[in-house]
Structure 1
Amino acid sequence: MTAELPEHPVRITPLPPEQWTPALRALLAGSAKDGPGRVNLFGTLAHHPGLAQAWLSLARVLTHEGTLTGRQRELVVLRTAHRRGSSFVFDRHRAVAADAGLDSREVAATASPLAEHPWSAHDLALLEASDALAAGEPLPQPLWDRLAGGLRPDQLVELLILAGQCATMCATLGALHTPPDGGRTPSG
């Protein structure tokens, strides 16, 4: 998923941290454990402070207070980012995925045809659900049954919201041509 898109002009330039609200700066500082690569994301959201705080509060719940395991979460994020063509989100989550226990082969396999990797039945169900949700397709009942066989109701709800939140961020960053931190290759 690291294929570079042709360079496009940034449509809304991310604001520098000194122009952010104190609350947004505090959110960035408080999420330092999430690693680098968040300044342009936050700087883009800083154009709408109220929405930024709400969005980032949801993201915090999904990434730090959620009921899915880190591995489950990162499989969904990586696959959704791949399916939505977002190298910004995919590349940003490589290190997060490694911290969540995915090895480099597994990270790479999330951006490949699913049959090319020996996924566990549970991982495969999450990845197939991510594919369907990223495409805006309904989850077929057999897939839902497989998911429900391994996840509690709260985790099923979280899975759906996580995939939607990720797809929305991929679309937003891509439409705005937001560049990665330190980079000039905008790719959403």
Structure 2
Amino acid sequence: MRLSTARIAPIADHEITPEQEEVLAPFRDAALVGPGIANIFRTLARAPKALKRFNLWGSYILGASNDLSPRDRELIILRTGWLCRSGYEWVQHVRIGLAAGLTPLEIERIKAGPDAPGWQAIDAAKLRATDEQVREHFISDASWAALASFTDKQKMDLVFTIAQYTQVAMILNCLGVQLDAGQTLDSDFPTG
């Protein structure tokens, strides 16, 4: 976590306007962290029109229209969250990644990146592409070629997913969105 307190506080139930309730309604008891609305959505609800549009793109990235498998999607989201030092993103997506088929060992390996021992070549290629896009805002020709088993649409979805979650990480980090109740940050997570 970059910040120990929120710069923009999550909206409390008693503050919610009808417009905010409309954009928050799908998140009530829906799931990220159990009953209630997760801090990311309570924070973004302070700009309800932005949250509404944010959710449209986010539902593409996390939905069935994205041609990445859920496991591949979570692999690159977790690597993006790690590289961007977004503790909130990391904590949320560890749970989601496990449900999508990542193993605890793979999640540990994500921290070390594409050169960690044990990755299959295609997983290393996905992680390397993620590292390059996050750090250089570009995927090299060599890394692109290593994704040869991907369709063009899967390559596009990989780029879209990394870009979306880099944006999410920046929002979370800059606004200081704090972990939801009952969550704990991984002790290995880089801070500051």
Match of 2:188 in 1: none
Instruction: Kindly state the Cα deviation for residue 155 of structure 1 after the two structures are TM-superposed.
Output: 1.4
Distance 1:173 1:38, change over 3 A: farther
TM-superposition CA deviations, 1:122-173 (whole Å, max 9, x none): 11111001101111342111111111x1211111111111101101111111
Equivalent of residue 11 in structure 1, options 7, 11, 16: 7
3-state secondary structure, aligned to 1:114:
coil
3-state secondary structure, aligned to 2:28:
helix
Q: Pairwise CA RMSD of aligned residues?
A: 2.5
Instruction: Kindly state the Cα deviation for residue 117 of structure 1 after the two structures are TM-superposed.
Output: 2.9
Structure 2: which amino acid aligns with 1:119?
Answer: W
Whether the 8 Å contact between 2:133 and 2:162 is mirrored in structure 1 is: yes
TM-superposition CA deviations, 1:48-94 (whole Å, max 9, x none): 11110111121111112211101110011000000101111011101
Whether the 8 Å contact between 2:130 and 2:162 is mirrored in structure 1 is: yes
Match of 2:172 in 1: 173
Instruction: Kindly state the Cα deviation for residue 116 of structure 1 after the two structures are TM-superposed.
Output: 2.5
Match of 2:181 in 1: 182
Trace 1:93-108 onto structure 2 (pairs within 5 A).
93-108=93-108
Distance 1:95 1:38, change over 3 A: farther
Match of 2:149 in 1: 150
Identity %: 24
Number of residue pairs the alignment of both structures matches: 182
Whether the 8 Å contact between 1:17 and 1:43 is mirrored in structure 2 is: no
3-state secondary structure, aligned to 1:110:
helix
Whether the 8 Å contact between 2:115 and 2:124 is mirrored in structure 1 is: no
Instruction: Kindly state the Cα deviation for residue 120 of structure 1 after the two structures are TM-superposed.
Output: 1.0
Q: Are 1:127 and 2:127 an aligned pair?
A: yes
The farther-off stretch of 56-65 and 175-184 is 175-184
